[in-house]
Copies of this chain bind each other. A is one copy, B any other.
């Protein structure tokens, strides 16, 4: 920066100002400075700047998996919302474990983010402590944690899955099955499973058939394997609900491969409204979730606190929309 200042014949301070929009520098000097910046190919060193200004311009976000279009959409929502503010996203993924999350949180806090967005409400105790002492706004997303840390942007996975069950029950299905992962690692998955069980109870139906399958992410292949287990143990199952559209798609393909008609022989529903669910044949009935909006809202809430200087705020909860999308598979 000193080089630029020399070349432009001004002080470093003036260069600093010229490079920061919104500060008063005369047009002539600014032009001289910009020319020098261009000639030298100078790029501001933000790590130095943030040390001085005590604002890093970072926002951290942690998702379970980057290779999942639902969470990728959330990440997009965050980035897009941050873009206009000059905040930059530090993205990490936990592979669905709180241990990895804890490590990630620590690594990110070392970068002094001005806010942090988490997925879900399951965190290690140490992670909670670190977040608390970091003194930055925290947004938990994608579910409604029992003990929120700070703000929440999400929806009840339990209720959403319950709604899906009831929608299918209204169409006449009675014998339900559920395909999902093991419960401990994927809290959203287990909430959906709970929602399934409760809805069946409320409807006064005989208990649903549950097939737990592997650790998340439950993918297409596992969905196919799971539906096979389901049909072997409970051949009379009328409708299978899956923890996500990927497993639902796997189940659908496997059933068709075995010559079963969907939905006549067996109905299949998913969760998440992935693109594949809309265009496979038949289309998969699913629960649409506002993934992108979750990211947008989460970022927006952080920005309010960070840039707006908003001080007092309780543990606000922002509910995001979900809705059943009925397609040919049910």
Number of copies of this chain that the complex holds: 2
Complex contact A253–B275 (CB within 8 A)? no
Q: How many Å from the CB of A108 to the closest CB on chain B? A: 8
Please classify the interface of chain A as helix (H, G, I), strand (E, B), loop, or mixed, using the class held by over half of its residues.
Answer: helix
Complex contact B91–A91 (CB within 8 A)? yes
Q: How many Å from the CB of A325 to the closest CB on chain B? A: 15
Complex contact B224–A41 (CB within 8 A)? no
List residues of A (36-62) whose CB comes within 8 Å of B's CBs: 40-41, 43-48, 50-51, 56
Q: Mark A84-111, 1 if CB is under 8 A from B, else 0.
A: 0000111111000000000000110111
Complex contact A66–B76 (CB within 8 A)? yes
Q: Mark A226-238, 1 if CB is under 8 A from B, else 0.
A: 0000000000000
A266 located at the interface, meaning its Cβ lies under 8 Å from any Cβ of chain B in the complex: no
Complex contact A67–B56 (CB within 8 A)? no
A219 located at the interface, meaning its Cβ lies under 8 Å from any Cβ of chain B in the complex: yes
Complex contact A93–B112 (CB within 8 A)? no
A218 to B121, CA, bound (A): 35
A72 located at the interface, meaning its Cβ lies under 8 Å from any Cβ of chain B in the complex: yes
Complex contact B109–A43 (CB within 8 A)? yes
Contacts of A249 in B (CB 8 A): 276, 279
A73 located at the interface, meaning its Cβ lies under 8 Å from any Cβ of chain B in the complex: yes
Q: How many Å from the CB of A190 to the closest CB on chain B? A: 24
A23 located at the interface, meaning its Cβ lies under 8 Å from any Cβ of chain B in the complex: no
Complex contact A275–B130 (CB within 8 A)? no
The answer, among B47, B133, B278, for a CB contact under 8 Å with A56, is B47
